[in-house]
């Protein structure tokens, strides 16, 4: 009877080990390939995340070291749109170069245009610090096995940009493929226009109001045309309150450099003043002010929080 115990244990546990191995090699729950880019044979998705609208900095050149010790990319492209991240764990006994060459061929076949590519040291000493800010690789990356391509495809529904990074790292000596795909698209306009009467009531009660219906071009101070309805309502409120002087305060989210956001928010506030002045509101009643990222109303860790922090506030200015 004793001699049967190892056999019985093997019969019981072998399927469990097989199931564990299969589970390890299964795609992450809810994940999927990006429709235009097939996966390398035998690869599995270890991480997958998508958001309807986000910003991404596409690297288009090597990344060196700035005088302040921070990574300094030679060239970048700022993108906004639907954003998808995918991390594939490749099969054993395949080199990162072989996998990368397969992807190069697949991208060409799909109609992608190469914007920049680099390998190994040509990518620069600080490249991987910026290519993967989410730290999706949990291990020691091999810089001498890395390969990168930035590519673009033009489509009727909007251009799509791809950052693809192939490398290997300890403790798993196998290729890993990281993709960041940005599909350019205008942000869905879900902001409700605040009527002049509501602005007037809120100002009388609180002395200020946050306005989310004034939108700007990405990284710019120019007001988007879809902001007209909200600008008109704000002008109507100021016209109805001729004795009211206000601060027009621009707020940004927490992304980017402090000084730059401070300057951007000041320029955006000035744009709002100029738009209201064009509608007949006296400029001396309005003082533009940039608050940058210093007064968030929500966390900057999520898309939703950052959207709440990007706003224009109208603040009553009491003159003595």
Kindly give, in sequence order, each residue whose CB lies less than 8 Å from that of residue 249, ignoring residues fewer than 6 positions away: 265, 269, 289, 290, 291, 312, 313, 314, 315
0.85 cut: is pTM over it? no
Return the residue matching tokens 């995340």.
Answer: 49
Residue 302 pLDDT exceeds 60: yes
Give the pLDDT score at 197: 94
| Comma-separated ranges of CATH 3.30.1330.60 domains in the chain | 196-316
pLDDT (tens digit per residue) in 178-215: 999 999 875 555 557 899 999 999 999 999 999 999 98
- Output 156 or 196, whichever has higher pLDDT: 196
Task: Give the pLDDT mean for 211-224.
Answer: 88
CATH of domain 196-316: 3.30.1330.60
How many angstroms separate the CA atoms of 11 and 71, rounded?
55
The model's confidence at residue 295, banded by pLDDT at 50, 70 and 90, is: very high
Task: Give the pLDDT mean for 263-275.
Answer: 96
Give the pLDDT score at 18: 36
Give the pLDDT score at 255: 83
């Amino acid at each position: 009877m004793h001699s049967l115990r190892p056999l019985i244990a093997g019969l019981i546990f072998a399927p469990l080990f097989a199931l564990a191995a299969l589970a390890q090699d299964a795609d992450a729950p809810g994940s999927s390939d990006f429709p235009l880019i097939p996966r390398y044979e035998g690869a599995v998705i270890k991480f997958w995340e998508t958001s309807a609208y986000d910003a991404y900095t596409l690297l288009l050149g090597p990344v060196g070291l700035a005088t302040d010790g921070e990574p300094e990319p030679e060239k970048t492209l700022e993108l906004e749109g639907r954003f998808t991240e995918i991390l594939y764990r490749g099969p054993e006994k395949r080199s990162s170069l072989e996998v990368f060459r397969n992807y190069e061929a697949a991208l060409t076949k799909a109609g992608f245009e190469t914007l920049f590519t680099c390998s190994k040291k040509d990518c620069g000493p600080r490249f991987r610090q910026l290519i993967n800010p989410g730290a999706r690789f949990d291990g020691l990356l091999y810089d001498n096995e890395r390969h990168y391509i930035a590519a673009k495809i033009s489509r009727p529904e909007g251009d799509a940009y791809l950052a693809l990074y192939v490398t290997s790292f300890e403790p798993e000596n196998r290729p890993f493929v990281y993709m960041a795909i940005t599909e350019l698209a205008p942000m869905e306009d879900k902001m409700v226009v605040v009527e002049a009467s509501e602005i007037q009531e809120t100002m009388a009660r609180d002395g200020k109001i946050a306005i989310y219906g004034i939108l700007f071009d990405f990284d710019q101070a120019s007001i988007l045309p879809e902001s007209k309805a909200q600008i008109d309502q704000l002008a109507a409120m100021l016209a109805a309150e001729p004795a009211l002087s206000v601060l027009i305060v621009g707020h940004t989210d927490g992304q980017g450099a402090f000084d730059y956001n401070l300057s951007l928010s000041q320029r955006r506030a000035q744009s709002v003043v100029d738009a209201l002045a064009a509608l007949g509101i006296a400029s001396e009643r309005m003082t533009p002010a940039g608050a940058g990222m210093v007064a968030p109303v929500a966390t900057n860790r999520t898309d939703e929080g950052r959207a709440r922090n990007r706003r224009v506030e109208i603040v009553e200015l009491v003159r003595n």
